Amino acid sequence: MTAIPAPATHAGGESLDAYLTAWAGGDADRATVAQCVAVLAQAGAAIADAVLLGPLQGSLGAQIGAANADGDQQRALDVIADQKIIAALQQADVAYYASEEEEAILTLKAGGALAVAVDPLDGSSNIDANISVGTIFSIFRASPEGATESFFRPGHEQVAGGYVVYGPHVALVFTLCEGVAHFVLDPADKTFKLIGDGLKIAPTTREYAINASNYRHWIPPIRTFIDDCVAGASGPHGKDFNMRWVASLVAETHRIFVRGGVFLYPADERKGYEHGRLRLLYEANPIALLAEQAGGGATDGFVRILDKQASTLHQRTPLIFGSAEKVTRIATYYTDTNFERTPSPLFGERGLFHV
């Protein structure tokens, strides 16, 4: 039998530590932010180890007890990820910590310089199916007025944001509000190494991501936009589209950064979805910051995401982000009467999808 050669070890680019050190220079405020990103990356590497073991350590997707503070069913890996992030942030100058898994804002270090909001394990319902999951983080300067004031402010006041995606490889994508950097975890030495700096989202796209099973619940602007995409080259867009849906925000986001696209999770007519479903503070805010830093856009349909201000810890929002041209076009469906349509025959009472 012919031996299969071992894969070559790739040295990769600049290390994360070197990159952050160079960015911070001699500025103490920048150094504080850099340290915070570094320890979040360390937590991401630790979470990646837990994800890698999968069912060898039991069902990470198993439901445990009651729903979390945000009303979603808490799973084993949600708690593991939350604990690892809290432990990591103890090493940084972080005053306040907000998490999907916590009922209230935690004080980690009185007088600390930063406030960090995190979704510790996005997409955890997919973990047992071996689908990519991730961690999303947002960093603000801590307010001298206290914990709530540190977070309940417009998203454009973030000083950094990003995510770690645990997939076939572990990727860290973040912004320090000077463009978007892409790192990959080298499994040989457990070091994040630079793959690309100044990432850009393709300005236009033929690909959209939405949960089409909710079609009947959508409000007219979303339904009309999707109808126009489904119409393809013969429709208003004049081109054919592909649809994608992973049901993991981090996985959807990473795909859009790699090859373009637009993501839609709108408000709809179901109870509990009237104001959207994603969380403004620790999901929409950092994703919107990344999108804009990469030349894309992010809106709730009417308002730029980064101009919104949370008033509760787990406040929800609609989220549409990705390629700038498509985000702008979708927003016009909300406001321009020229985009009003009669219901599409594809989805009508006797349409193709009627059962």
| 355 belongs to a structural domain | no
| 5 belongs to a structural domain | no
- How many CA atoms are closer than 13 Å to the CA of 147, on its beta-carbon side? 15
Residue 58 confidence (pLDDT): 65
Model confidence at 216, pLDDT cuts 50, 70, 90, reads: very high
Q: Is 222 found in the same domain as 131?
A: no
Q: What is the mean pLDDT of residues 7-27?
A: 83
Q: Write the pLDDT tens digit of every residue in 78-108.
A: 999 999 999 999 999 999 999 999 999 999 9
252 is in an annotated binding site: no
14 is in an annotated binding site: no
- What's the CATH number where 305 sits? 3.40.190.80
Q: Is 211 found in the same domain as 190?
A: no
Q: Which of 197, 220, 249 is the last residue of a domain?
A: 197
Give residue 124's domain range. Answer: 16-197
338 is in an annotated binding site: no
Q: Is 92 found in the same domain as 38?
A: yes
Residue 124 confidence (pLDDT): 84
Q: Is 187 found in the same domain as 50?
A: yes
125 is in an annotated binding site: yes
124 is in an annotated binding site: yes
- Comparing 55 with 216, the larger pLDDT belongs to 216
Q: Is 160 found in the same domain as 63?
A: yes
Our count of domains for the chain comes to 2
44 is in an annotated binding site: no
Q: Is 238 found in the same domain as 170?
A: no
- Collapsed DSSP state (helix, strand, coil) of residue 221: helix
Model confidence at 69, pLDDT cuts 50, 70, 90, reads: low
Q: How far apart are the first and last CA of the chain?
A: 54
Residue 341 confidence (pLDDT): 65
Q: Is 179 found in the same domain as 318?
A: no
Q: Write the pLDDT tens digit of every residue in 126-155.
A: 888 889 999 999 999 999 999 999 999 999
| Average per-residue pLDDT for the chain | 90
Report yes or no: 77 and 60 within 8 Å, Cβ to Cβ: yes
Give the Cα separation of 334 and 219 in Å (integer): 9
User: Residue 133 region, left (φ>0) first, then alpha (ψ -120 to 50), else beta?
Assistant: beta
Residue 67 confidence (pLDDT): 60
CA distances 283 to 9, 144, 253, 273, 319, Å, are 34, 24, 11, 16, 9
| 2 belongs to a structural domain | no
119 is in an annotated binding site: yes
Residue 141 confidence (pLDDT): 98
Give the Cα separation of 129 and 147 in Å (integer): 37
Per-residue pLDDT at 353 exceeds 60: no
